[in-house]
Amino acid sequence: MSDYVIIGNSIAAIGTIEGIRKVDTTGTITVIGNENHFVYGRPLISYMLMGKTTLEKMNYRDLSFYDDNKVETILGVEVTAIDKDKKQVALSNGSTVSYKKLMLATGSRPFLPPMKGIELVEKKTSFMTIDDALKLDSMINSESNVLVVGAGLIGLKCVEGILSKVKSITVIDLANRVLPSILDEKGSDLVKASLEKKGVKFILGESIAEFTSAATATTTQGKELSFDTLVTAVGVRPNTQLFQAIGGQVNRGIVVDTLGKTSIEDIYAGGDCAECFDISCDTQRIVAILPNAYFQGRAAGISMAGGEEPFDQAMPMNSIGFFDLHIITAGSYIGDKDIVLDDENNYKVLFTKDNKLVGFIMIGDVQRAGIYTSLIRNKTPLDSIDYTLVREHPQLMAFTLKDRQEKLGRSH
Amino acid sequence: MKRVYVNEKWCLGCRLCEYNCAFANSGMTDMVKALNNVTINPRIKVEKANGISFAVQCRHCKDPICVRACIAGALHLDEDGVIRIDDTKCVGCHSCVMACPYGAIMPSQKGVMQKCELCLQNSSKEPACVKGCPNHAIVYEER
Ligand SMILES: Cc1cc2nc3c(=O)[nH]c(=O)nc-3n(C[C@H](O)[C@H](O)[C@H](O)COP(=O)(O)OP(=O)(O)OC[C@H]3O[C@@H](n4cnc5c(N)ncnc54)[C@H](O)[C@@H]3O)c2cc1C
């Protein structure tokens, strides 16, 4: 029996724990996670492979975190079912844990479309977890020819992680450009060109028709590929199964309100398994990014413990680098598109709608990008600031004297 | 807690705060050696336009978005209210740059991120930018 039971031991779970403890310092908390690791920054797995961090430094919180917060952990164990009437969860080790409040922080899992002959490939992995990264590291060496299926964020971060360790990397994607979820066409071209300069090969607008052996494949347009290691990074699916099985409301992700409440009493959800209201385009959707997982978890934790601090500022934002090229994007690419900067190494586009900034893409020079992010988040009317100034460079000078005094002359 | 606040109307735009910041965080004892012929990379930056100028550095927010956005658990809101970065954990992903509404976090020479930590742990012991400001355009006080 635990007052609070959390399924999943990642970012949303940590937000939940910190949220609960803000309100309730004594209630018992149990976290059940099927990855047998101390909580780590999931996005760090590629940085670990390229040597920018180490396994020992990837812990997302101090090693005393669970003790400090009086959290019992059950790791390496999966929750197999929820009984909402008895208010308990069943575990893969045969035991059960009862709860007063339950948090679903189950994240997402790799999605693999059926690919003919994939069972022939021996050296293959997805790229979502520390264990995936360690497995990949053990499969590759300086002679490896790696095939990455998927030119999205996860596929390309994987490429960055291992490029210096292997002989060649080929990336294939059905989309005709890289990072289509966060870049426009010009942005995609710039990033693709910079990766090509580093030696990455791309096959775009095509997919794998068939794996013809453990080391060969043909593409939909008949190209023959040879490789020895396969990384699949096609997409992810939210882990909503447990909740769906008990009749909970699920669209693409678990439906929650800004307090993290689901359609079932005493069950909460947040992070990559849940939807949220994206304020940059007024749409209910999954925003699968780390800050969102933290904020949704925290709001849920606070309300589980009886408090109320809604998280109502969700929107996509990504900061992703490939070698020395930085990319920061946020919001939605709707409304008027204004290309402010477009040269060989830099690209900047602002999207405005109804007198507001609703989205931006910055590649290369990303200094002070957060000022743009805050304009989106706060829905700042653009006629209340010096838009000409801020359009050129994100800067506080663009705000009125009164706003500047508020920002720089008060505690926040 | 004491924070650094800006009195914009007194700012001369002299950028001494930037130099004092760079020196205080250089770990060196000789200002000339620390700053001579170096392009400084301070954690405080003066904005200037149309005859107006003011300095911007970390506001040490009570509910910091940068800390929440950090993918590495490298940024912390410490018990004394100061937001600090563990540069051994930072991987330089720039998520904090994406999140900070003041534009007050920037890369260091090491390729990881740096930010104002109020000089409490360097040899200055209190904000060097404030100490050296000739016109009290930045102050370190409780508000
Ligand atoms: C390679 C990579 C790079 C990324 N880079 C970035 C980035 O730069 N910036 C960014 O913002 N985001 C990035 N992301 C996305 C970010 O990692 C996620 O948004 C974030 O981890 C979501 O946190 P979460 O807690 O909701 O879910 P997850 O991190 O997915 O964690 C859910 C956990 O729950 C466990 N679980 C699921 N079901 C059960 C069950 N039934 N029983 C027990 N345990 C269960 C899972 O195994 C997992 O450990 C990246 C992701 C990947 C894979």
Domain spans of chain B, in order of start:
1-57+118-138, 60-115
Shortest distance, CA A408 to any CA of chain B (angstroms): 6
pLDDT, one tens digit per residue, over B82-136 is 999 999 999 999 999 999 999 999 999 888 999 999 999 998 899 999 999 999 9
Q: Are residues A31 and A76 in the same domain?
A: yes
In a domain, A316, yes or no: no
Q: How far apart are CA A136 and CA A126, in angstroms?
A: 9
Closest residue in B to A15 (Cα) is B68
Option in A59, A330, A409 nearest B98 (CB): A330
Cβ-Cβ contacts under 8 Å, B97 against chain A: 319, 328, 366-370
Residue A389 lies inside a defined structural domain of this protein: yes
How many cross-chain Cβ pairs, A to B, lie less than 8 Å apart?
A: 130
- Whole-angstrom distance, CA of residue A361 vs CA of residue A349: 5
CATH number at residue A205: 3.50.50.60
**Cα A136 to middle of ligand 1, angstroms:** 18
Look at A162 and B36; give whichever has higher pLDDT: A162
List of chain A residues whose C-beta atoms are within 8 Å of the C-beta of residue B66? 370
> DSSP string covering B60-100, please?
--SS-HHHHH-SSS-EEE-TTS-EEE-TTT-----HHHHH-
Query: How many domains is chain A built from?
Result: 3
The answer to the question of residue A271 being in a domain is: yes
CA dihedral A391, A178, A289, A327 (to 10 degrees): -40
- The mean per-residue pLDDT over the stretch B53-72 comes to 97
Q: How would you class A401 by CB atoms within 10 Å of its CB: exposed for 0-12, middle for 13-18, buried for 19 or more?
A: exposed
Model pLDDT for residues A95-152, shown as the tens digit of each residue:
999 999 999 999 999 998 899 999 999 999 999 999 999 999 999 999 999 999 999 9
Its domain, for residue A152, covers: 118-232
- For the record, the structure tokens of B84 come out as 């600090």
Query: Which residues in chain A (266-295) have CB-CB distances under 8 A to chain B?
Result: 290-291, 294-295
Residue burial A322-344, b: 16+ Cβ < 10 Å; e: rest = beebbbbbbbbbebeeeeeeeee
A197 in a structural domain: yes
Cross-chain residue pair B91–A47, CB shorter than 8 Å: yes
Q: What residue ranges line ligand 1, CB within 6 angstroms?
A: A 7-13, 32-35, 42-43, 45-46, 78-79, 105-108, 127-128, 154, 157, 239, 242, 271-272, 288-291, 293, 318, 320; B 71, 93
Q: What confidence category does residue B38 fall into, taking pLDDT thresholds of 50, 70 and 90?
A: confident
Final residue in a domain of this structure, among A232, A250, A275: A232
For an interface test with B, give the residue of A52, A280, A315, A411 to mutate (most B CBs within 10 A): A411
Quick check: A60 and B89 CB within 8 A?
no
Task: Examine residue A309 and state whether it is found in any structural domain, yes or no.
Answer: no
Alpha helices in A198-343 (DSSP H): 241-244, 290-304
Q: Do both A199 and A227 map to the same domain? A: yes
A117: Cα separation from own chain's centroid: 30
Distance CA(A293)–CA(A273), nearest Å, equals: 9
Boundary (domain end) residue, out of A211, A232, A253: A232
Indicate the length of chain B as a whole number. 143
Q: For residue B93, what are its two tokens?
A: 């992903």
Report the share of chain A in percent with pLDDT over 70.
100
Q: Of A366, A377, A409, which has the smallest distance from its Cβ to B6's Cβ?
A: A409
ipTM value > 0.90: yes
In a domain, residue A93? The reply is yes
In chain B, what residues touch A365 (CB-CB under 8 Å)? Answer: none
Is there a single domain that holds both residue A191 and residue A278?
no
- For residues A73 and A172, state if they share a domain: no
Q: Does B60-115 carry CATH code 3.50.50.60?
A: no
| Per-residue pLDDT tens digits for A31-78 | 999 999 999 999 999 999 999 999 999 999 999 999 999 999 999 999
Task: Give the separation between CA A304 and CA A23, rounded to whole angstroms.
Answer: 9
Do B44 and B124 form a contact (C-beta atoms < 8 A)? Answer: no
pLDDT in tens, A268-314: 999 999 999 999 999 999 999 999 999 999 999 999 999 999 999 99
A126, A227: one domain: yes
Q: Which of B62, B94, B113, B130 best probes binding to A when mutated, by most A CB atoms within 10 angstroms?
A: B94
From B72, which residue of chain A is nearest by alpha-carbon distance?
Answer: A41
Q: Are A129 and A226 found together in one domain?
A: yes
pLDDT recorded at residue A105: 98
Distance CA A398, CA A379 (A): 15
Environment class of residue A321 by beta-carbon count within 10 Å: exposed (0-12), middle (13-18) or buried (19+)?
Answer: middle
Give the atom of ligand 1 at the shortest distance from the alpha carbon of A10: 25
Domain final position from A272, A304, A336: A304
